[in-house]
Amino acid sequence: MDSLTARYLLPENRARYISRLTSYRRDGNGRVRDDLMCLYLELTDTLETVSEQWKNMVRRYTKLLYAPEDGMGGPGGYEFHEILNELKAGYPAFDSDMAQLMRYFLYTNVLGAVYDGRLLAAVKMAVFNCLIIREIDLGIFAETGSFTRKEQILTTHLWSRQLEHSDYNLEKMERFMREHRALGIKKLMLCIG
């Protein structure tokens, strides 16, 4: 796994990744990304409740990010990147935390996929998990203007618990990864950037 990660971090591969990511962006104002992320958060709300605190966070930050009082929609496109950049400026460990979370979810999901042959769904699940955590992090930052490691740990803990402490939730999310059209590779890639 480490050699694979190292290979994709090489400058020539990074350029290819960025080129692909750019080609997936069809809508310059970020509306498609916002619609997808709102849908992804709503999908998590369909899971069995393991943690009421998680459910409340999802509802609160979905409303904050995507249904503000003026009815004009949430932070689309440029504003999304602006909020993300402000969060990173105030919490410099954010990118390394996200990379570590991706490693964790890849190891957790991919090892099981060796036995059931559903590698693509496992990788998509790892990406999805990081996107969900990042979106809640952005909601926290948008609401409070700050973000701390403690909040990162809480968000990660609550999502992991919501997902991993329920076989029903795990199976439902795995089925979503295989069957839900909004969770295709191109759509997930659009949400990464």
For residues 139-149, average pLDDT = 95
Let me know if residue 164 belongs to a domain. yes
Model confidence, pTM: 0.81
CA distance 92 to 153: 15
Let me know if residue 146 belongs to a domain. yes
Domain containing 101: what range?
30-192
The reported pLDDT for the residue numbered 4 is 53
Let me know if residue 6 belongs to a domain. no
pLDDT: is 1 or 30 the higher one? 30
The reported pLDDT for the residue numbered 26 is 45
Confidence of residue 25 (pLDDT cuts 50, 70, 90): very low
Let me know if residue 13 belongs to a domain. no
Let me know if residue 8 belongs to a domain. no
The size of the chain, in residues, is 193
Let me know if residue 66 belongs to a domain. yes
CA distance 128 to 40: 8
Let me know if residue 15 belongs to a domain. no
Structural domains in the chain (count): 1
Let me know if residue 3 belongs to a domain. no
Short-list 25, 21, 22, 41, CA closest to 131: 41
CA distance 129 to 127: 5
Q: Say if residue 128 is exposed, middle or buried (CB neighbours under 10 Å; 0-12, 13-18, 19+).
A: buried
Q: How many CA atoms lie within 13 A of 145 on its CB side?
A: 0
For residues 25-34, average pLDDT = 64
Which of the residue ranges 15-19, 45-49, 56-60, 105-109 would you say has the lowest mean pLDDT?
15-19
CA distance 66 to 76: 9
Written as one letter, the residue type at 18 is I
The reported pLDDT for the residue numbered 77 is 43
The reported pLDDT for the residue numbered 72 is 52
